[in-house]
């Protein structure tokens, strides 16, 4: 009887020992693996706490470097003085660079023009004058402007629309602006005062 009890006790101890050994072996396989994964996600050089878990290789541009879009007001807002309207060239600059279309657009709808410039600065990483020059070129002829951008992506030389106009261009612009001013003035004069002797003689 005593021998049977001893054999039963040894068997129970052996079973417990085998169970504990099995659990320990399982833990030795599972716990270190999970620990390595957790350590990699924290200490890996591609991640850090200041970057909020984002890979360092995909760096987000600082929000204060370009105009920001406010979803509340649904408007683009400048973030520094260099992006404000006063930092760019005046409407006369649009007239000298691209003619009357962008010039009158700035006079009649300056807000939408300004929003378009800020959006272009943010999306295309342009400075103030470059964005205004591209906006003026777009307003003058959207198709030509879009075609030029396609050609630039294919390797064509880039046009600096925001560069100051050359002397020759200023002379030509001054000539046609003077002619246009005379024609418009004459039409308005005849419209308000009627056809005078010059008008009767020249039909103008």
pLDDT digits (tens, 9 = 90+) for 6-31: 444 544 555 544 444 444 444 343 33
Is there a domain that residue 3 lies in? Answer: no
Is there a domain that residue 41 lies in? Answer: yes
Is there a domain that residue 161 lies in? Answer: no
77-106 residue pLDDT tens: 999 999 999 999 999 999 889 988 999 999
Is-contact 102 139, C-beta < 8 A?
yes
Q: Are residues 40 and 116 in the same domain?
A: no
Q: Which helix (H) or strand (E) holds 76?
A: strand 75-77
Tokens at residue 74, please?
């649904």
pLDDT of residue 61: 43
pLDDT of residue 194: 82
Rounded mean pLDDT of the chain? Answer: 75
Sign of CA dihedral 126, 63, 74, 77: negative
Q: Are residues 147 and 71 in the same domain?
A: yes
Which residue has 């052996």 as its token pair? 14
Q: Are residues 148 and 89 in the same domain?
A: yes
Tokens at residue 166, please?
């050359």
Is there a domain that residue 97 lies in? Answer: yes
Strand partners, 76: 69
140-171 residue pLDDT tens: 999 999 999 999 999 999 999 999 988 887 88
Q: Are residues 72 and 122 in the same domain?
A: yes
Q: Are residues 148 and 67 in the same domain?
A: yes
pLDDT surpasses 50 at 117: yes
Cut 0.75: pTM above it: no
Alpha carbons 80 and 62: distance in angstroms, whole number: 13
- Domain extent, residue 195, equals 167-202
Is there a domain that residue 91 lies in? Answer: yes
Greater pLDDT, 22 or 34: 22
pLDDT of residue 195: 84
Q: Are residues 49 and 71 in the same domain?
A: no
Q: How confident is the model at residue 41 (pLDDT cuts 50, 70, 90)?
A: very low
Tally of domains in the chain: 3
169-193 residue pLDDT tens: 788 878 888 888 888 888 888 888 8
Alpha carbons 46 and 58: distance in angstroms, whole number: 10
Is there a domain that residue 5 lies in? Answer: no
Q: How confident is the model at residue 65 (pLDDT cuts 50, 70, 90)?
A: low
């Amino acid at each position: 009887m005593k021998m049977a009890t001893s054999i039963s006790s040894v068997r129970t101890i052996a079973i417990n020992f085998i169970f504990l050994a099995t659990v320990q072996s399982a833990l030795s396989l599972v716990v270190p693996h999970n620990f390595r994964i957790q350590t990699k996600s924290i200490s890996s050089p591609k991640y850090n706490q200041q970057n909020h878990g984002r890979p360092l290789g995909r760096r987000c541009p600082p929000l204060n470097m370009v105009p920001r879009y406010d979803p509340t007001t649904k408007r683009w807002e400048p973030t520094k003085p260099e992006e404000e309207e006063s930092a760019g060239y005046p409407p006369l600059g649009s007239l000298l660079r691209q003619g009357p279309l962008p010039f009158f657009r700035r006079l009649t709808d300056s807000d939408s023009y300004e929003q378009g410039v800020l959006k272009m600065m943010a999306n295309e990483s342009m400075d103030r004058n470059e964005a205004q020059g591209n906006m003026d070129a777009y307003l003058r002829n959207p198709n030509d402007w879009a075609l030029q951008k396609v050609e630039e992506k294919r390797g064509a030389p880039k046009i600096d629309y925001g560069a100051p106009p050359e002397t020759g261009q200023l002379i030509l612009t001054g000539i046609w602006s003077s002619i246009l001013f005379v024609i418009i003035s004459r039409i308005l004069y005849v419209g308000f005062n009627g056809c005078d002797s010059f008008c009767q003689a020249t039909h103008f």
